[in-house]
Amino acid sequence: MGGVPARAAAWLLFALLLSSSAHSFYLPGVAPRDFITGEELIVKVNKLSSTKTQLPYDYYYLKYCKPDKILNSAENLGEVLRGDRIENSVYRFRMREEEPCKVACRLTLDAESAKNFKEKIDDEYRVNMILDNLPVAVLRQRRDGSQSTTYEHGFRVGFKGNYAGSKEEKYFINNHLSFRVKFHKDELTDTARIVGFEVTPNSIKHDYKEWDAKNPQVTTCNANTKNLVQGSTVPQEVDTDKEVVFTYDVSFMESDIKWASRWDTYLLMNDDQIHWFSIINSLMIVLFLSGMVAMIMMRTLYRDIANYNQLETQDEAQEETGWKLVHGDVFRAPINPGLLCVYVGTGVQIFAMALVTMIFALLGFLSPSNRGGLMTAMVLLWVFMGLFAGYSSSRLYKMFKGTEWKKTTLKTAVMFPGILFAVFFVLNALIWEERSSGAVPFGTMFALFCLWFGISVPLVFVGSYLGFKKPPMEDPVKTNKIPRQIPEQAWDDWLLCLLLVC
């Protein structure tokens, strides 16, 4: 009878847990933030990026307006490896308070600054900014004729063109930014959440009567009438000793988009951005090769089955024909079994990392709002999957009756990462020479070394120890003591197969 009260108490506790209120949670770093009217909004700047070149640059590599003190935001490992450099800027807004035609600064371009601007305009570099963890984007109409719009991340540094009546090509800088902040309002608390950050870049050669450093005013745009351009709309040319006045204005627009759906427009892709030709080409190659292999296998199987059906005596049935000719050599240890085990262990490590990464992505842990999360997850998963690499390599090595398992384990732990790190170090040195923000700092390199030798290598040895303690895997067939002689193939056979694959 003593078990009845205990069972009743357990059911009561279970009922209380079911009736308790549930609270949702957000992933670290991506929780929504509510802003009140007049609250300061801080715009941060990120790297300069381009689709024509893979080298990112720090925002202040170009001669843009700088705050009194540049502050670097804390970044995770993935952001540093991607080349992100998030810093503060001179652009500051106040929630739901429009600011037309605000002067950021006035600069004079020297020869080096003008040269850098021209190079980045030639390479179609784009400026990336961040507000409330949302990247700035340029609004574009879809080309399929629908009314929906898409975003282009960042805005162009400038553009090339020529004046009317002249064939000489000039460089122009986008020195005026028209920001529009979309917000979703909470009717109960009157607070708002930012759901969009758009910009319209313009190139304007500003004029002014007299420069007042404390309260600069330009005549090409009027803050009182909220008109951007007054009179001529001459673009701002980029050249040595040219004076550039950087200005911006801010507007706010209420939106029905909720905070949870604010990334949908950023992720919407134009059809012309999808590489249909590459996708179809890859599918055709896969289907062609798969069909060719299937046809060869089917012909071989049909021929073997036909031969077996034609056998008339028991002696003929016991003869080794077809695939039976090599069944005694399939599980023979290769010339260098240790190297094969290293390759298998590394492959298992890569496969496990990719599999777990995709699972995390499907669960939403690697959303675009978690900037750098994908790269960080891949590096950390690669480190911890060293356990499976050591286990699989040692199991295979023991099946080959190997004895130097420590040597094989050490190769599994350092060979592939060592080659990768050597290439990475050389490329990083070249990128560092280009003064790109994609160059990994020394502190991050040291952290990667610590992850490699402090976590990955020990885990490989632990996995190898566990795998070597297991009994060896038994071969399903007996291996012949004398290996069968296989004639060497002509070099043009494998070259033809290689050309077909390529």
Around Cβ 410, how many Cβ atoms within 10 Å? 16
pLDDT at residue 25, rounded to an integer? 43
pTM: 0.78
User: Mean pLDDT score of the chain, rounded to an integer?
Assistant: 84
347 vs 330, 350, 406, 464, CA distance in Å?
A: 21, 5, 19, 15
Helix axes 386-399, 405-433, angle to 10 degrees: 140
3-state SS, one letter per residue, for 424-443: HHHHHHHHHHCCCCCCCCHH
What tokens appear for 151 in the block? 């975003």
pLDDT at residue 1, rounded to an integer? 44
pLDDT at residue 38, rounded to an integer? 93
**Tens-place pLDDT, residues 274-306:** 556 778 888 888 898 888 888 988 888 777 777
361 vs 210, 349, 352, 380, CA distance in Å?
A: 56, 18, 14, 15
Q: Are 253 and 182 in contact, with CB atoms under 8 Å apart?
A: yes
Q: Which stretches of the chain drop beneath a pLDDT of 70?
A: 1-30, 142-148, 222-232, 269-276, 307-325, 327-328, 486, 489-502
- Please provide the DSSP assignment of 190-226 as one string: --EEEEEEEEEEE------SS--SSS---SSSBTTTT
pLDDT at residue 11, rounded to an integer? 55
Considering only CA atoms, which of 185, 210, 182 is closest in space to residue 196? 182
SS3 287: helix
